[in-house]
Amino acid sequence: MAKNTIAIEKYGIRFGLIAAVAMFGYFLLINVLNLQNVEVIRFASNIFIIGAVIWAIYSLKTNTQGPVPYLPGLGIGFLVGLIGSVLYAIFIYVYAKFLNPDYAAILETQDYYGSVMSPMMLAGAITILGTAVGTMTGYILMMAFDNSGARTAE
């Protein structure tokens, strides 16, 4: 079981970093295009977490002999979402607080999640949302990939 734990962490960290880098690029792109005020475009960064979880679980499945157990797949989804969203939240916080203080003022006037939030609160909300997206993506994928025999066909 220790070997599965290492694989979960390896895949979670690798693909969480990939998701974070993709979200950094997406954030910079929407700011260059001046689209950061459009809610749908702003929240579309979660697509990169979904893609990274799919890629991570597919990679685990292709590199594993036999069936991929349900819980390791769910763990990978959780880790990818957590690592990707935490790094993205830190990036936005540093960007808003230190690199572009004018952006922090813009953030404080925008309506995120139904209320006005400081950059620190926004970072926390991004982390929670990204972790939930990654976990749910892993959950859904593992329902399709889990053929370990735990389910019965009655």
Q: What is the pTM of this model?
A: 0.86
Encoding tokens for residue 153? 């066909």
Structure-model confidence comparison of residues 26 and 61, the more confident one: 26
Q: Which residues contact 45 (CB under 8 A, 6 or more apart)?
A: 23, 26, 27, 88
C-alpha dihedral over 7, 10, 16, 20, to 10 degrees? -160
Is residue 137 assigned to a domain?
yes
Q: Is the pLDDT of residue 27 over 90?
A: yes
Q: Is the pLDDT of residue 1 over 60?
A: no
Is residue 152 assigned to a domain?
no
pLDDT of residue 89: 94
Distance CA 51, CA 20 (A): 11
To the nearest whole number, what is the mean pLDDT of the chain?
85
Q: Which residues contact 146 (CB under 8 A, 6 or more apart)?
A: 67, 68, 69, 70, 73
Domain count, the chain: 1
- Rounded mean pLDDT, 124-141: 94
Q: Is the pLDDT of residue 14 over 60?
A: yes
> Which residue range(s) make up the domain with 119?
2-145
Range list of β-strands (E), 26-126: 111-112, 115-116
